[in-house]
Structures are given as C-alpha cells and as structure tokens.
C-alpha cells in the first residue's frame, strides 16, 4: 500500500500551521504535510541536466516542421536544423500538441488552452518575520490556491467566467510571452480569497501573471499511445504539468521501454477521446472542468455540457420512458428510470433513488427487464487465421464450435490485463468480440498491433453500427418466444451459446449471456433497427410486467454475482492471478498465449495482493471505491467497487488486499464516510452460486 500522509484537522490546528487564515465558516481542513510547490524553471532545468547526464541530447530553439513514418517503421522528425530518425516519437508539445498531432494525421486533440491568472503581492512585514514558510492553501469557496511567494503572497483563482484561447490554432511564434491580464474576470474570487487571508489587503500588487494552461474535458492529461499509430506517443494537455511532470515522465518511460507502467494509466489514455471528440465538445467540457477545479464531485453527478456525442438508436424512446442518462466516454447511457419525475438528491450515502433501483432489480429478478447495452465496443474478426490469432492473444480457449461464447482476457508480455472480451464464434473464420465502452480504440489498436506479418486476419470496428439490448429475467424466454420462430428452449438454446435469429423480420444475433445473473439474452442488431426491436419487445412484454432498467441496477446485480468490472477490479496494473480469474484460464489445457510465461512465473513465485469479495455491514452508505480496508488498525488494501445487492439483501464490495490476509470468513473493516464498518471475506458469488438461474 502506497500513499501520502494526510489527516482532517480542527480549526485550532489550522491556526498552528497557518496563523493568518480567518476561520469564519470553516469546520476543519484536509492537511497533506508532504505537499508543497516547486519553481517551474528550476525543476525543468534540473530534469534537463539529469537527462543530459544520462546521455540525452536536447536541441533548443529548433522547431519541428513535420513528422513522417518511414517504411522501416521508424520516424523521421523534420526540424528547421535537419532531420532526426528515431524509433519512438513523444508529443510533449504543450500548448502546441494539437498542431504537432496534425503532422501525423491526428485531428481534434482535446487539449484546450485556458487563460489562467495569478497575482503576487509586495513583501508583507508579518511574513518577513516568519521563520517557517506558510503551507499552500486551496480554498474551494474562492476557487483559488493561496500561498507564500518570497516575502509576499500569491493567489490564483479558477474563475467561473473562464475563457479559452487560441481556438483556431497556436501561433508558432508564441514562446514565452504572457497575455494581457483581465482582473475584472477574477475580481469576485480575489475578494473572497483575500477575505480568507486578510494580509493580502495590506500590501500592493507586485505583478500579475496571465497565460495559457492546457486542459482536457476530464482534466486528466493525455499520456500513452496515439490511436492508429505505432511508437507515436502523446504526453501533453496537462493542467498541472509541473507537479505531475517528473512522476508522469517516469511512468511514460516505463511504458515506452518495457511495454507497461507500474501503475494504472487508463485515466490518462489518449485513446479514451481521440476517436470521437470535436472542438465544441472539448471546449465546453474543458471550460466546465476549469470552473470546477475545486468542486468536489458527487456520486451519480452528471454535468450537462458536452452531451449527446454518441447516442444509440433507442435513446429518444428511452428518454420518453423516463431514462436518466450518464455520460460514458461520449455515450448517453441510461442509469435509472425516473417514472415519478423526482429530482435525485446527490449524496455519498443511499439517496432517494435507492428504492427506485431496488424496484428495477426486483422486477428483473421476478419478471423481465430490458436495458440498452449499445455502449459495448464491438468488433468483427474474420480471415483464415482468425482462430489462431485470437487463440494467441487471448488467455481462454477460443470457441471451435459455431455459436459458442467465451469470456476471456488479453494480457501483455508481462502478464498484465489489457482488456476483457466476450468472444462468439459465428461460423468458421468469423468471430464477434465485445469489450467495454472505454476500450474501443485501445482494443482495436491492440488487435492490429498483434497481427503477424502476412497473417490473414481482418478487424472491423462495429461499435457504432451495432445496437444491443439486454432482455433479462425469468420471463425473458416467454416474451422473446412470442417474437421469433427460433426454438428458445433450454435444449435448443443453451447458456453461453448464440444464434442468428429473426425478430419480426429484424436480423438479430441473440447471445445467451448477461452481466446480471438471470435467464436472459443480449440481442445485437443493426443500430438503425434497434428502436424497432425495442418497441416489439416492449409491446410483447406488457403482459409479462416488463420494466426498463439502467446501469445502477445492473451494477447492483453484477456485484451479487461477483462479476469483475473493467477499470475497477480489472486494470492494466494487475494480472488474472491477482484478480482471481482462475476459472478463465487453464495452463494445462492452454499454455501458449501472450503473457503466459509471466503468468506461470507469477503462480510459481506467489503474489503480494489479491482481489477479495466482501460482505459489508453497511448502515446507510455502501462502498464507492478507494476506501481503505483495515485489519485492526493496519491498512491492508483498498476497495475497488461496491453496491447493495437487493436479491441477497447485503451490501457487497470488492477490494485488493495483502494476499496473506486472504481467508474466507476473515473479519476486516472498511473506512466508509469516516467510520470503521465491519466486513468479512466471503465465498463468491453471493447470489446463485451454481448459476441455476442463468442456465434455467
């Protein structure tokens, strides 16, 4: 377990650390004693010196004019002073990263220059007397950072009236220049901040700094492989560049040299955006992120700017049914259905939609429910070598029988999980694969990069072309049988199989698999037919008490089945061994796949951390993720996700803990909302351990 010391301190303690803060309206503070600040120029020069000492060459005042990839796979970087041939190119061009990206054909890079201002005061006599520097203060009320600068003070607000700059592109002549200040825009923030530390008012302003800082739509920078290219890396769009610089550079270097970094870099993946964003989206979302720099996000909170980037064919119909949508990598995904037109009261605890989620779950369990699953990334894999290709890159055995379905994982050379796939064999040399919404371009790149020369494999991205409905619940067979001539009985349509069927003349790939743990099918069809398919299902389901349900209910039910989630339990920093995915690989039956040697070594040497499944004695708040897990008072791990399971009437969670504590029945505790809550490790899953309902 790694981390930095931190604590919540009282108002009395605040005064010990910072005697000048006015305490009006303050209940306490979050104290991080190892935090601080650094001088950007000194830091950059120190890192440059270290790089030179280790053999790096730095060419200053030499603009790159073009970048081309050679037939050898190497890159030619064309500069004003000559060409450089190299194996890898890293776009760390700061405010110019979109312009550099265009040189290699990447458009609409979501890096927006925001105008940021801060001011520095003249020396203050009270600060001159200090024998210890004041700590940095971050004040949500003024949306500002406030700190000592020399013998004066500094304040930098993130104002509500934010402004983007150079939206038509950067001028290559722009270098170290600053912009004209506009104090009117930050006046209200300055007033609040200066009231918090009154010493600001005692002295004059020494200087005002105004310049561009890059921001992205989620305020995470872009770090990782560029989409569709090999050995071209993005390392840009950082809004906290100096603070992140050294550490981010370390992990990028690991990724480039070793093929992976020691931490999970998914939040910074450039490919989470670069396939679908446009300028308007990037500007709107980046402005909103800038405004919300010091706003604490709430569970289930949605921001209404930059929406409707990707919608399924059934979006409007679901909206009319009361769907409340969340933004999932540009997709509008139904989270829950607001039949009573209430306003959700955002909270870290169970809130007023808790009973609504309960009803959705109970109806799926007792009757039948329908859910839009079109956010899946979807790929068609064909060609004479498609079976051998998939068998090489996937951990689990790829189906050899037409219609068979497997859940499998893809690893890199050092055994880390790269993605989770559901693979269906349609017919010989024809497979259909599904993965998470965030993985679309990442997985497409992985497939293409893993192809061997002259291998006959074709990868087609069907994500936007195909829509998916989940029809799930004990009455799903009765309902679906009304709409098709295909025999859906258990003898003719078994669990983990698929068939191409017709539903009211709509061609559908019906897959008997789901993420809920009940009898049910995923129904895949052309996106332009999914609304018709939904309407047929809805009308035929009225007598079966059909209900719409969303991702909140599905999350509750997947927790009851102990199904891992991509990005929570499954990330590129762990392997199938730590994640407890033993049932999805068997080295005796299949011992040759990418990452197999690393997995064999890990099994032989043992692991330090292990995913465990927990029953939590929660009161009115369930696990959200990243809560500390303790044995007595020792932190031994962190939760990854959790939810209340309405079918089993238990609060459930996943957590990675030190492997030595992994014992069924082991009693631990979780810090939830500042309170130690009892929990214990239980056998998974909590619901239907023999899969009787799935197989019914």
Contacts of 546 (CB under 8 A, 6+ apart): 367, 368, 369, 370, 475, 479, 537, 538
Residue range 420-458, pLDDT digits in tens: 999 999 999 999 999 999 999 999 999 999 999 999 999
Q: What is the DSSP letter of 268?
A: G
Do the domains 40-111+218-272 and 377-461 sit in the same CATH topology, yes or no? no
Q: What is the DSSP letter of 136?
A: P
| Mean pLDDT of all residues in 525-551 | 98
* Length reported for the chain: 696
Contacts of 280 (CB under 8 A, 6+ apart): 306
Contacts of 481 (CB under 8 A, 6+ apart): 488
Burial class of 560 by CB neighbour count within 10 A (0 to 12, 13 to 18, 19+):
buried
- Closest by Cα among 208, 214, 209 to 167: 214
Q: Cα–Cα distance between 113 and 663 in angstroms, integer?
A: 51
pTM (predicted TM-score): 0.95
Residue 2's pLDDT is: 58
Q: Cα–Cα distance between 202 and 135 in angstroms, integer?
A: 20
Instruction: Name the region of 473 (left: φ>0; alpha: ψ -120 to 50; beta: rest).
Output: left
Q: Cα–Cα distance between 342 and 344 in angstroms, integer?
A: 6
For domain 377-461, the question of CATH label 3.30.70.1400 is answered with yes
The answer to whether residues 183 and 191 touch, using CB atoms and an 8 Å cutoff, is: no
| Mean pLDDT of all residues in 32-46 | 90
Burial class of 45 by CB neighbour count within 10 A (0 to 12, 13 to 18, 19+):
exposed
The answer to whether residues 491 and 502 touch, using CB atoms and an 8 Å cutoff, is: no
pLDDT at 510 > cutoff 80: yes
What is the distance between the terminal CA atoms of the chain, rounded to a whole angstrom? Answer: 43
Q: To the nearest whole percent, how much of the chain has pLDDT over 90?
A: 96
Q: Cα–Cα distance between 3 and 640 in angstroms, integer?
A: 16
| Mean pLDDT of all residues in 121-126 | 98
Contacts of 206 (CB under 8 A, 6+ apart): 119, 120, 121, 122, 152
Domain ranges of the chain: 7-35+113-215, 40-111+218-272, 377-461
pLDDT at 1 > cutoff 60: no
Residue 35's pLDDT is: 86
- Closest by Cα among 383, 215, 375 to 283: 215
The answer to whether residues 621 and 671 touch, using CB atoms and an 8 Å cutoff, is: no
Q: To the nearest whole percent, how much of the chain has pLDDT over 70?
A: 100
Q: What is the DSSP letter of 574?
A: S
Contacts of 12 (CB under 8 A, 6+ apart): none
Q: Cα–Cα distance between 249 and 123 in angstroms, integer?
A: 36
The separation between CA 369 and the C-alpha centre of its own chain, rounded to angstroms, equals 27
Residue 97's pLDDT is: 97
Contacts of 457 (CB under 8 A, 6+ apart): 381, 382, 383, 385, 386, 389, 451
Q: Which helix (H) or strand (E) holds 388?
A: helix 386-393
- Beta-carbon-side half-sphere exposure of residue 344 (alpha carbons within 13 Å): 24
Residue range 369-427, pLDDT digits in tens: 999 999 999 999 999 999 999 999 999 999 999 999 999 999 999 999 999 999 999 99
Residue 664's pLDDT is: 98
| Mean pLDDT of all residues in 634-659 | 98
pLDDT at 3 > cutoff 80: no
Between 2 and 462, the more confident residue is: 462
Residue 656's pLDDT is: 98
The CATH number of 7-35+113-215 is 3.30.9.10
Which class in CATH covers the domain with range 40-111+218-272? Answer: alpha beta
């Amino acid at each position: 377990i790694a981390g930095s010391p931190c604590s919540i301190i009282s108002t009395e303690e605040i005064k010990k650390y910072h005697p000048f803060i006015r305490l009006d309206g303050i209940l306490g503070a979050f104290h991080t004693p190892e935090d601080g600040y650094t001088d950007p120029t000194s830091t950059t020069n120190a890192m440059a010196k270290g790089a030179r000492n280790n053999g790096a060459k730095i060419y200053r005042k030499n603009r790159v004019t073009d970048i081309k990839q050679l037939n050898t796979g190497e890159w030619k970087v064309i500069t004003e002073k000559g060409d450089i041939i190299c194996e890898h190119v890293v776009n760390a061009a700061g405010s110019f990263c979109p312009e550099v990206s265009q040189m290699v054909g990447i458009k609409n890079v979501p890096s927006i220059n925001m105008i940021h201002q801060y001011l520095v005061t003249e020396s203050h006599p009270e600060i001159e007397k200090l024998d210890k520097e004041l700590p940095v203060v971050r004040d949500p009320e003024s949306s500002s950072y406030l700190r000592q600068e020399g013998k004066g003070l500094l304040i930098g607000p993130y104002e509500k009236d934010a402004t983007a700059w150079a939206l038509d592109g950067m001028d290559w002549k722009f270098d170290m220049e600053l912009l004209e200040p506009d104090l009117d825009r930050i006046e209200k923030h300055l007033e609040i901040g200066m009231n918090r530390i009154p010493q600001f008012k005692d002295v004059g302003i020494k200087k005002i700094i105004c310049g561009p800082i890059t921001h992205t739509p989620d305020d995470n920078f872009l770090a990782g492989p560029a989409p569709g290219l090999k050995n071209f890396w993005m390392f840009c769009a950082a809004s906290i560049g100096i603070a992140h610089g050294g550490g981010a550079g370390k992990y990028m270097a690991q990724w480039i040299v070793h093929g992976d970094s020691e931490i999970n870099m998914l939040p910074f993946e450039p490919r989470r955006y670069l396939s679908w964003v446009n300028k308007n989206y990037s500007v709107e979302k980046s402005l909103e992120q800038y405004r919300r720099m010091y706003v604490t996000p709430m569970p289930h909170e949605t921001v209404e700017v930059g929406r409707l980037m990707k919608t399924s064919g059934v979006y409007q119909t679901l909206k009319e049914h009361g769907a409340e949508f969340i933004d999932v990598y540009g997709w509008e995904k139904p989270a829950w259905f607001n039949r009573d037109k209430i306003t959700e009261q955002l909270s870290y605890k169970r809130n007023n939609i808790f009973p609504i989620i309960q009803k959705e779950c109970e109806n799926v369990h007792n009757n039948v429910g329908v859910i839009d699953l079109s956010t899946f990334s979807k790929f068609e894999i064909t060609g004479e070598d498609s079976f051998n290709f998939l068998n090489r890159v996937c951990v689990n055995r790829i189906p050899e029988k037409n219609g068979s379905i497997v859940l499998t994982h893809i690893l890199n050379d050092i055994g880390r999980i790269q993605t989770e796939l559901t693979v269906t064999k349609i017919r010989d040399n024809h497979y259909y694969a599904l993965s998470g919404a965030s993985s679309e371009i990442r997985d497409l790149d992985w497939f293409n990069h893993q192809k061997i020369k002259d291998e006959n494999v074709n990868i087609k991205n069907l994500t936007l072309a195909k829509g998916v409905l989940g029809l799930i619940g004990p009455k799903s067979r009765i309902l679906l049988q009304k709409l098709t001539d295909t025999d859906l009985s258990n003898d003719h349509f078994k669990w983990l199989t698929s068939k191409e069927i017709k539903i009211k003349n709509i061609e559908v790939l019906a897959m008997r698999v789901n993420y809920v743990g009940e009898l049910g099918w995923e129904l895949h069809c052309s996106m332009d037919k999914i609304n018709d398919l939904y309407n047929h299902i809805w009308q035929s389901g009225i007598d079966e008490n059909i209900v719409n349900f969303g991702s909140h209910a599905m999350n509750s039910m997947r927790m009851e089945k102990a199904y891992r989630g991509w990005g929570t339990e499954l990330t590129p920093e762990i392997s199938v061994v730590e994640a407890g995915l033993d049932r999805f690989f068997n080295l005796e039956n299949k011992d040759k796949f990418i990452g197999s040697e690393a997995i064999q070594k890990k099994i032989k040497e043992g692991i330090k951390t292990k995913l465990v499944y927990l029953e939590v004695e929660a009161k009115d708040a369930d696990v959200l993720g990243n809560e500390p897990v303790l044995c007595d008072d020792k932190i031994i791990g962190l939760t990854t996700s959790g939810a209340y399971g309405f079918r089993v009437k238990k609060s459930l969670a996943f957590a990675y803990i030190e492997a030595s504590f992994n014992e069924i029945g082991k009693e631990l505790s979780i810090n939830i909302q500042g309170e130690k809550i009892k929990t214990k490790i239980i056998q998974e899953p909590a619901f239907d351990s023999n899969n009787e309902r799935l197989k019914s």
